[in-house]
Amino acid sequence: METTLLFKTTLILTFELSIAFGLCIYFLKAAKKAALSGKDFFGIHFTHAVNMNNELDLIPDPSRSIEYPRKMAKLVDKPKDKWKYPNKKETEWDIVFAENREEAIAYLKDGYEDEMDMPKPFVTTFFLWIFSSTALLISSIVPQYEYYLLVGMLLFTFTNICLGPVLAWAMLMVDENDGMRALKITLIVTFLAGFIGYSDVYSFAQNEYLILVMFLLLLGLVIFSLFNLFRGFSRGVSRSVAIGGAILFSLYIIVDFNRLIYMEDLNINDWNTAFYMSYTIYLDIINLLLQILEAMSNS
């Protein structure tokens, strides 16, 4: 019995997301287990705290192996331009160096925190993820060849094996509880968006004007993100843009699921196409998750 393009695409997508999100959850639980037993997690110790929702929150504690001078930093809102824009502010990292324990304590009371370097195994995993993601992107857009599906699936799987630990580390640096909530929200939104797109209540994928507007908004989001890396915007602005980005990628999920209908109408139903579409939707979902995390971290 021949399966539909939707089934093939969903099967690949579910398999790959299960690897990434499953490993992420595994590492979060491993970090919590290590913290509760007083052990380190890849060389990093965590202290126990309670967040505003009365949940256990793991706080990285680099003070167990401190060398002076001790680099510390905190986010501060500074005037954008003292003379031209006296009321506008932008967020920047204020970095100081504590020469001894007494100075460090004073800075800690003032809201400064120790800079936390990613453990070496995670750094290696991060660069492997960058490399494999680039290779996966290239392999997905080249003209299809004999081993297109095999090479693509191997790269897809390896990329998600690397992504899981990296996602877990990013969540630990913010609040793993928010990270878990972001995962749940992402899955719920993906299901609803996929249902809307595939139900064909509207021809989203055929609306050229909508596609153009979405592309321009995506371009604007990329430009904003690049500017934000170098100059920094206020938390309020960053949060608003992140919410807008989450809405945008939700629309992309709707459009991509809607595309499946028209491909099936054209009798396109093969595993190579399913791989390409699953990868496209996967990118939408991962970007949706990152935007939700960004909005939560700036709330």
Flag whether pLDDT at 83 surpasses 70.
no
Amino acid at 299: S
pLDDT given for residue 174 in this prediction: 79
pLDDT given for residue 220 in this prediction: 95
Record the tokens describing residue 287, joined without a space: 């970007």
pLDDT classification of 114: cutoffs 50, 70, 90:
low
pLDDT classification of 169: cutoffs 50, 70, 90:
confident
pLDDT given for residue 2 in this prediction: 81
| Domain residue ranges in the chain | 5-37+116-297, 65-114
Burial profile 206-240: b = 16 or more Cβ within 10 angstroms, e = fewer: eeeebeeebeeebeebeebeeebeeebbbeebbbe
Flag whether pLDDT at 69 surpasses 80.
no
**What share of the chain in percent tops pLDDT 90?**
52
pLDDT given for residue 192 in this prediction: 97
pLDDT given for residue 255 in this prediction: 96
Instruction: Over range 14-35, report the average pLDDT.
Output: 92
For the stretch 190-211, pLDDT in tens is 999 999 999 988 889 899 999 9
Distance of alpha carbon 171 from alpha carbon 25, whole angstroms: 10
* Helices 5-36, 235-265: crossing angle, 10 deg rounding: 150
For the stretch 231-276, pLDDT in tens is 767 788 889 999 999 999 999 999 999 999 999 999 999 999 999 9
pLDDT given for residue 259 in this prediction: 95
pLDDT given for residue 79 in this prediction: 66
